[in-house]
Chain A
Amino acid sequence: MNIAKRMRRLTPRKLFWNSVHYAVLTFASILVVAPLLIAFISSFKTPLEMLRGEKTDLPDNWNNLQNYADFLEGQPVGIAFYNTMFVILVSLFIVTMVGTMAAYVIDRFRFPGRRLILLLYVIVMAVPAITTQVSLYQVMLSLNLVNSKWALIVLYSGADIVSLYIFIVFLGSISREIDESARIEGASYFQIYWKIILPLMTPAISTVVILRTIHMYNDFILPYLYTPRADQSTVSMLLFKASGMMSSSTEAILMAGIVIVIAPTLIAFFVLQRQIVSGMMRGAVKG
């Protein structure tokens, strides 16, 4: 329907309601953006400006990058980003390989114990991970994984049932005809997985990659419990530790650190918004 046609139907009453809707939307958007914007503005302010002016005042000098320099110098930023990337990439690789393999076997084969395995996954999915940390911590201690970034990797990939669920549901929607005919032509089961199933699962894999990357980059509880030491930790702990060290006089430096951590997400978000939104909608319905 074109806009001219639409405009003609705009009665005064409708016009009124549309203005109300716009006003509410704009108000909400301002509330969403304001805290972020104020943090961004603060990251360019000098200590004196922070002390004297209102939070909403603009900085005198937008080229004042001293806070950024101070944060980069005083905090282990490089190692935190390196650890975060390392944890994300290794976990994504494990989740994708292990998850698609398991989904392939569970969806395509009928074997004794299959129903039991499915039942176990359903039970585990219903148990919120956050409640079992008390005992999981002891397991991690005995495996000597506390204070190692491998703790994060095994937990992000090993205790991730939702991704497996997404893979199984997706594979269930793909017809078996292709792998059955490949079977008749003499392909081994492994070849079928590697050459047919894995490529076909690309959409599900990209959903999982998006959901898991956002989760891992933003998660706080696991790094807080398992990698309290800075040299093994992620950007969440970088900010957490920095915020514990800073006082009100160094608030602007902390804001610079926050901008450094948030900026990559925001850039990725605006570049990939279509994929992220559809990935979220697809992944979220599973609950």
Chain B
Amino acid sequence: MFAATAQNQRRMVIIGFLVVPLTLLTVFSLYPFAQLVYYSMTDWNGLSPTKNFVGLDNYERIFFEDQELLRPLINSLYYFIGSLMQLALATYFAVILNRGLPGSNVYRMLLFMPFVLNSVAVSIIFRDFLQIEGGLDALMVLIGLGAYTREWVQDPDIVKWSLVFASVWRYLGFQLLITYGALQAVPQDQYEAARIEGASEWQQFRYITFPTIAPILGLQIILSTVGSLEVFDVPFLITGGANGTKTIIMATLQEAFEFRRVGLAAAMAVILLCFVMLVMIIQRAVFDRGGTK
């Protein structure tokens, strides 16, 4: 009798505690995911009550007929290159801040600060900062570089790098913090020993620091790859996608909500999703190999 009620109680807790999260998971994650795949095989416009099943037509159109649609993917490349430079910078900052030079904490805080600020606020600030005769130009004039000012947002050759700069500005501190966290795991006595042996700073980095933080750096490269496929806020709010700065997320949302081609947008989203999954699978493969080595 007692055993039976204990069994009941156990069942009730399991079901009771899981019913809400599983409902949420189903309604807001699993079902939309399944719907996305389904929509991608229809010609639905988002409004009409009828959707015609068109098979893989949308995919065919994206890959073979209307290649403009995937063009924004090229912009991800800029953000990817930017994020690699960002990682190099972040690692450099993390390493020198980790030495405990006086004032390290202040620098770490300042560099991390942009990450906690509101997306829209930061983007508007940058939109103004990069304007003609905006803050950046004024600063350059102030330090005597007035001759080198450019049309940071208007010039199509420069605008992509300006946006990458805004994005590095925002996320550098976050990578710095993660790398800094990884550096805490490096045993300090190894540096002490290396110094006694007369190892240079570069040698210390190359043979002590780098091997310890390499896995975290690898993980950050993967995350950057995924991140550069998903860029939206910063370019959307600064240029609205003008001047060839549209990202693939912007293009997808535009197809769905502005041009009312939900089927096509869904297919684009599925393709993007496959790219992201592919990156994740590569990450798994690389990390598993690293683990058994």
Does B256 touch A at the CB level, under 8 Å?
A: yes
* C-alpha gap A133/B254 in the complex (Å): 12
> Which residue of the partner chain, among B116, B120, B174, contacts A239 with CB atoms under 8 Å?
B120
Contact A35 B129 (CB under 8 A): yes
Contact A218 B118 (CB under 8 A): yes
* C-alpha gap A65/B115 in the complex (Å): 28
Does B65 touch A at the CB level, under 8 Å?
A: no
Contact B33 A124 (CB under 8 A): yes
Contact A285 B178 (CB under 8 A): yes
Q: Determine the chain B residues whose CB is within 8 A of the CB of A98 once the complex forms.
A: 20-21, 24
Q: Determine the chain B residues whose CB is within 8 A of the CB of A93 once the complex forms.
A: none
Q: Which of B101-158 contact A (CB under 8 A)?
A: 101, 107-114, 116-121, 124-126, 128-129, 133-135, 137-139, 141-142
Q: Which of A174-197 contact B (CB under 8 A)?
A: 188-190, 193
Q: Determine the chain B residues whose CB is within 8 A of the CB of A270 once the complex forms.
A: 109
Describe B's contact surface by its main secondary structure.
helix
Chain A minimum-CB-distance residue to B226: A128
- Could you give, for residues 7-18 of chain B, a 1 whenever the CB lies within 8 Å of some chain A CB and a 0 otherwise? 001100110011
Does A55 touch B at the CB level, under 8 Å?
A: yes
Chain A minimum-CB-distance residue to B29: A124
> Which residue of the partner chain, among A117, A225, A277, contacts B177 with CB atoms under 8 Å?
A277
Does A104 touch B at the CB level, under 8 Å?
A: yes
Q: Determine the chain A residues whose CB is within 8 A of the CB of B32 once the complex forms.
A: 132, 135-136, 138-139
Contact A33 B110 (CB under 8 A): yes
Q: Knowing A105-B18, A134-B265, A281-B181 are in contact, say whether A265-B110 is a contact too (CB < 8 A).
A: no
- The contact sample of 20 A-B pairs, CB cut-off 8 A, is A25-B96, A28-B89, A39-B128, A54-B141, A101-B18, A121-B25, A124-B25, A128-B226, A128-B230, A131-B272, A134-B252, A134-B256, A137-B256, A139-B32, A158-B29, A235-B118, A243-B120, A269-B116, A273-B109, A281-B178
Residues of chain B at the chain A interface (Cβ within 8 Å): 9-10, 13-14, 17-18, 20-22, 24-25, 27-33, 35-36, 39, 46, 89, 92-93, 96-97, 101, 107-114, 116-121, 124-126, 128-129, 133-135, 137-139, 141-142, 169, 173-174, 177-178, 180-181, 201, 219, 223, 226, 230, 232-233, 237, 249, 252-253, 256-257, 262, 265-266, 269-270, 272-273, 276-277, 280
